[in-house]
Structures are given as structure tokens and as C-alpha cells.
Structure 1
């Protein structure tokens, strides 16, 4: 399936990590570069939602949040407002192990009757590993305008289709949020 753009969300403050998560290295490449490589076979265009100056060096279009300080929901809203395609693959920069097999499964799970499809595991929902229809932007903007910046409730209002991933694929959905998470990742995949 083409006619799909890719959105990598990388505008967070990375407070728990203490460094920009999207630019952390796994092997020779940054987390963002790993995700962009996995997305490339499926997406017409890939862009970054996050306006840090270092992102300009990655060779991808960078867009700033339309509503500053609105968290992941604001980044998602900004990406959906910027994109030209109805369906969009959305990945958070702190999930660098998401691979082509996971992406393919999500894309193949798109249901025209629904507006969101995202990954879950036995333990966790992963709303920032999924596909979003551009129509979701309006509801996300309403949530932001009302001060409700929590991602999960806004996504739930879109009545998402959830695709469950089991081991070993489930391990590829890990979010790397702390220095300890990062060190574990490096041990596992070095």
C-alpha cells in the first residue's frame, strides 16, 4: 500500500532520559534513522514532528508543533494537519526497534470503517505505533483546546482497532525512556 505518509514524533523534552531520545545511537544510526529506514518501503514521504535544530541534519522534513507544549497529542495533531495523505504511519522516536514486519502488519490491518489502528501487547497499549487517518486531527485539536493533553483518552475517542503483537515481536515495541532502558537496549542488541 502506498499513498501513506510517515510521521515520526520526536518533539518531547526527554526529561527522564536527559538526552534527546531520537538522536540516541543504536549501532551506527540514530533511533530516528532506524525508524525512517523501516518506514521507507511503505511511505511516500516521511517527516519529523519536532523542531530541534539537530534534526535538520537528518535529511527529513521537520515540522514544528502547531500548538507548543501540547505533548505527544500536539505532535500527532501537527503531523496529521501537515500530511497530504488520508492514512499515515505514526511512530514515536523512542521505539527504535519497530521493524518492517510490524509496520506491514499494522498497514494490512487498516480498516476503512475505523480511523486508527495501533499496536498492543499483552501488557501495554502503544498508540504511538500505529496508523492514523487524517480525520482524527479535528478531535485531537478539540482535546488540546480544552486542555486535555492526555494521549490515550483522545485516541480512545477515535475507537481504535488494536493489533496485538506477541513475543518475540512484542519486544520490538519497547519504549526507551530512561538511561537504564537505553543501557539494556545496548546490551541486548550490540
Structure 2
């Protein structure tokens, strides 16, 4: 009998947040920093939840109790965090969530985990347009790691096209609003003026 694949959580916090002007993982929508809120959401579904951080954040978080995975590659974007996670544990699957999704709930995470197809390289929701995989709320299986390495060697760093080429398993998100990314101060302000999260 095959041993179940460990499912770890990965909160992507290592972006530069240039459009927001401050670290998006530290913004508060739910009475605590977003990285902590997402950790709480992921914990029931994952063996261990890690924060994916850049070198500067790792220095600031040197006394943090949350396990960290520091970006190990000299490439831009979220693929750095995902590749670094597989370097940390290549035999684990990774439930990846971007830190700038304040409307994400347990409902969507449960649908994603329950709908997971371990025989595919990844399981993802269709994006907000209903056409392509949403890479920043998805499960990446160990079998995708060689595909990621090939992409890295080819200088190809965009995770969505990688998922498209990898024949990933696609699901429909229960509420497309949960895929909202908040990247700019105006978007954050508009969201805070809504009746509820």
C-alpha cells in the first residue's frame, strides 16, 4: 500500500508588493495579518503550513515560530517560492495560496482539497475568467517538480502557462470572488468599504 503524499501549505508572501507600497502579507482584513489569517485557514487541510519569504523577510522573521521557506532562486515571481518549497521537500504536495487573497474562505479550500487528483501534476481552480488555471490557489504534486525544473532551465517563470502545459486537473471555484487579488491601495480601500468580507 502506497504511503499517502504529505500535503503542506505554502503562503506566498515573498513578492515585492511594489504596487501596494507595503508588505501585502502584513495587511489586516480579518483582525490579524493576512499571512496569519491564511495560515489559520490552511492548517486543517495541511500537515504543515509554511510561509514563503524573500531574504529580507526571512531576516525580519528570524524569531518567528512559523516555519519559513526562503526564496532560493534568482528569478522573479511566485515560481521562486514554489520551486523553493519543492527543494525543501520534493516528496510533498504543496497547497499554494497567495497572500493577497483576502476573500478566500474554508469553503473553497475544502472544494480544492476534496477535488484533488493526485494522479495529475496539479489541481487548480479555473481563474476568474473561467478559462485558465489559477496558479495561486492550487495544489502542486511532486510529479510536477521536473516540469518546473525544465521551465526554470528554459527561463520560463510564469506559473499559469506551466499549469496549462502540465495537464492539471481543473475545478470550478464555489465563489469566483474568492479569487480576488488585492494589489493596490485603491483596491484595498474599496474592499474595506464593502459590507462584509
1:32 paired residue among 29, 35, 40: 35
Quote the Cα distance in structure 1 between the aligned partners of 2:114 and 2:167.
18
Cα distance in 2 for residues equivalent to 1:59 and 1:96: 23
Q: What are the ranges of 5 or more consecutive residues in structure 1 without an aligned counterpart?
A: none
Task: Give me the TM-score of the superposition, normalised by structure 1.
Answer: 0.88
Residue 85 of structure 1 and its aligned partner are, at CA, apart by 5.0
Q: Distance in 2 between matches of 1:102 and 1:63?
A: 24
Task: Name the residue aligned to 1:94.
Answer: 100
Which residue of 1 is the match for residue 23 of structure 2?
Answer: 20
Helix, strand or coil: the match of 2:79?
Answer: helix
Measure, in 2, the Cα distance between the counterparts of 1:85 and 1:170.
31
Match of 1:70 among 76, 100, 115: 76
- For residues 101 and 6 of structure 1, the distance between their equivalents in structure 2, rounded to whole angstroms, comes to 16
Q: CA deviation at 1:13?
A: 0.8
Write out aligned runs for 1:52-63 (5 A).
52=57, 53-56=59-62, 59-63=65-69
Shift in Å, 1:10: 1.2
Unpaired segments ≥5 residues, structure 2: none
How many residue pairs match? The answer is 188
Is residue 136 from structure 1 mapped to residue 144 from structure 2 by the alignment? yes
Distance 1:35 1:8 in 2: 7
> What residue is the counterpart of 1:155 in the other structure?
163
Matches of 2:143 and 2:173 in 1, distance apart?
A: 26
CA gap 1:78/1:44 in 2 versus in 1, 3 angstroms: same
Of residues 5-14 and 121-130 in structure 1, the stretch that sits farther from structure 2 once superposed is 121-130
Using the TM superposition, name which of 35-44 and 74-83 deviates more: 74-83
1:115 to 117, 121, 124: 121
Helix, strand or coil at the partner of 1:105: helix
Cα deviation per residue 1:29-54 (whole Å; 9 max; x = unaligned)? 11111110100111110101113134
Structure 2 residue 3 is the aligned partner of structure 1 residue 11: no
SS of the residue corresponding to residue 45 of structure 2 reads: coil
Secondary structure of the structure 1 residue equivalent to 2:193: helix
The answer to whether the 8 Å contact 1:56/1:62 transfers is no
Give the Cα separation in 2 of the matches to 1:28 and 1:104. 23
